[in-house]
């Protein structure tokens, strides 16, 4: 009786149309913006992504030379024998931590999830 009541669009997309749409989406700029504090902003909705993405920690000496690199905050805390809260505070304010007579700086390296 009413076969087309849910959908009246009978045109089916061709393979060329789909490939063109995919290439347009891949060529467009990213919808994410990574801030220096590690937060990821979704531009289209002006909302921050929950969490901070994949956070790696780089440990630099006072001259800016990379000493260690860690995949997580917890690995860094276990290696140095200090709390992850201390490292998190140092990441936020950028201050030095003195460990074994060396002034170390922790830097956050953020990648998209």
CA 13 to the chain's CA centroid: 35
Q: Where are the domains of the chain?
A: 54-111
Residue 4 backbone dihedrals phi, psi, to 5 degrees: -105, 25
Residue showing tokens 């993405």: 53
pLDDT per residue, tens digit, the chain (113 aa), is: 566 566 666 667 777 788 888 999 889 888 888 777 677 888 889 888 776 556 788 888 888 888 889 888 888 889 888 888 888 888 878 777 777 788 888 888 866 65
CATH code matching the domain that covers 54-111, chosen among 3.30.300, 2.60.40, 1.10.10, 3.20.20: 1.10.10
């Amino acid at each position: 009786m009413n076969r087309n009541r849910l959908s009246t669009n009978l045109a089916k997309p061709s393979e060329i149309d789909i490939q063109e749409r995919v290439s347009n989406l891949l060529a467009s700029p990213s919808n994410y913006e990574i801030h220096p504090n590690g937060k990821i902003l979704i531009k289209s909705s002006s909302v921050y992504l929950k969490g901070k993405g994949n956070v790696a920690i780089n440990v630099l000496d006072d001259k800016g030379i990379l000493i260690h690199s860690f995949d997580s905050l917890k690995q860094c805390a276990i290696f140095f024998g200090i709390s992850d809260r201390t490292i998190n505070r140092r990441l936020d304010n950028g201050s030095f931590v003195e460990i074994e007579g060396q002034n170390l700086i922790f830097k956050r390296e953020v990648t998209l999830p």
